[in-house]
Amino acid sequence: MNEWKTRTKLVHAGARRSQYGEMSEAIFVTQGFVYDSAEQAEARFIESGPDEFIYARYGNPTVRMFEERMAAIEGTEDAFATASGMAAVNGALTSMLKAGDHVVAARALFGSCLYVLEILGRFGVEVTLVNGTDLDQWRDAVRDGTKAVFLESVSNPTLEVIDVRSVAEIAHAKGATVIVDNVFATPTFSKAVELGADVVVYSATKHIDGSGRCLGGVVCGPRDYVRKVFEPYLKHTGGAMSPFNAWVMLKGMETLDLRVRQQAANAHAIAEALEGHEKLSRVLFPGLPGHAQHAIAMEQMGAGGTVVSLDVAGGQAGAFRFLNALEIVKISNNLGDAKTIITHPATTTHQRLPPEQRTELGITPGLVRLSVGIEDVDDLLADIRGALASV
């Protein structure tokens, strides 16, 4: 299996078949497992192998298929699935930290990720926030004894690309674990492990499901971290993925590469077509040569990704007129979906932030985040251009 190419792994890796030889992965809707004897139950609680299950909060055959497929794709020794992306982010950090530890994180983070860092602070973990694109700030902040660095490889919603290789070198020189939230890079364009990430976290809710059905998350990393650090924390605190959701994610993975490549091609075409549009003061897309981290994006993803952010003239009023005039593009706050989705971060996903923090992050009143889907790109462009005309 290790020799297989990505698309083959996405369809076949991790599959387990019951005695019936079912073609499509089975959903094992069970929370418990029956033991042949009391001795067998005892032995399994002492140590259970990858094919032996105890309780669905610890593991389940359908969930295990998803974990093995994700580890195969990401190139890590193991993976652990969670109920949501936030259960994965929270668990990845909390499972390895204690009071007095030090963490360095990039400031441009998804709102809930910032909240997790706030919680860590309440429990005595020292958190230093840096501008993730400024390597000098990482060098100054990471010190002897820093336990972890945490970053989104491409930030939400301003699409700054962080140089994972350089940050990993800085972190590893001081012995810190590098945890990368890789949602915007997607498993398709991810080279996070090759670049030096130790632990890669995904919200599977996004591109992995890809059809806006289920919440899910996954933590991919070395076996010692996944089984000895993350698993004990997660299985005792209750953030397990449901078997049904794992099955949806497995089915999503079969078409992940096809979808994400089409989404990225559509996003690129839209960004190129809209650059310089009179109603837009900024078109942010890492795939455009004018993007501040274009070279890094090409090196670490080979593409610009599936999200384009636009700054609409006329601030919030202009952005709202634009959103309300769209017909195909839906107003919602998911991303990575087959359907094209638009969000106004300042009033939704990043509403909780104080205005000065939003300004610091580049979340201006006119900024909108467009998660590009797999529709016909000509239809999308006609919809977007038509709506911009009404601004």
Ligand X SMILES: *Cc1c(COP(=O)(O)O)cnc(C)c1O
In the bound state with ligand X, the residue whose beta carbon lies nearer, of 162 and 391, is 162
* Tokens (6 digits) for 157: 């919603």
Minimum Å gap between C-beta 86 and ligand X is: 4
Minimum Å gap between C-beta 390 and ligand X is: 29
Cβ-contact 172, 178 below 8 angstroms: yes
What is the phi-psi region of residue 240: left when phi exceeds 0, alpha when psi lies from -120 to 50, beta otherwise?
beta
**Which residues contact ligand X (rule: CB under 6 A)?**
84-86, 89, 110, 112-113, 152, 156, 181, 183, 203, 205-206, 215, 217
In the bound state with ligand X, the residue whose beta carbon lies nearer, of 65 and 183, is 183
Minimum Å gap between C-beta 215 and ligand X is: 5
In the bound state with ligand X, the residue whose beta carbon lies nearer, of 218 and 377, is 218
In the bound state with ligand X, the residue whose beta carbon lies nearer, of 367 and 377, is 367
Longest dimension (CA), the chain: 74
d(CA 388, CA 40): 66
Alpha-carbon separation of residue 93 from 104, 180, 219 (angstroms): 11, 11, 11
The residue of the chain with the least Cβ separation from ligand X equals 85
Cis? peptide before 157, omega within 30° of 0: yes
d(CA 190, CA 178): 15
Minimum Å gap between C-beta 64 and ligand X is: 20
How do strand 367-371 and strand 341-343 relate by DSSP bridges? antiparallel
Residues in contact with 156: Cβ distance below 8 Å, sequence separation at least 6, in sequence order? 108, 109, 110, 183, 184, 307, 349, 369
Minimum Å gap between C-beta 346 and ligand X is: 17
In the bound state with ligand X, the residue whose beta carbon lies nearer, of 309 and 388, is 309
In the bound state with ligand X, the residue whose beta carbon lies nearer, of 259 and 279, is 259
What is the distance of C-alpha 138 from the center of its chain?
Answer: 22
Minimum Å gap between C-beta 305 and ligand X is: 12
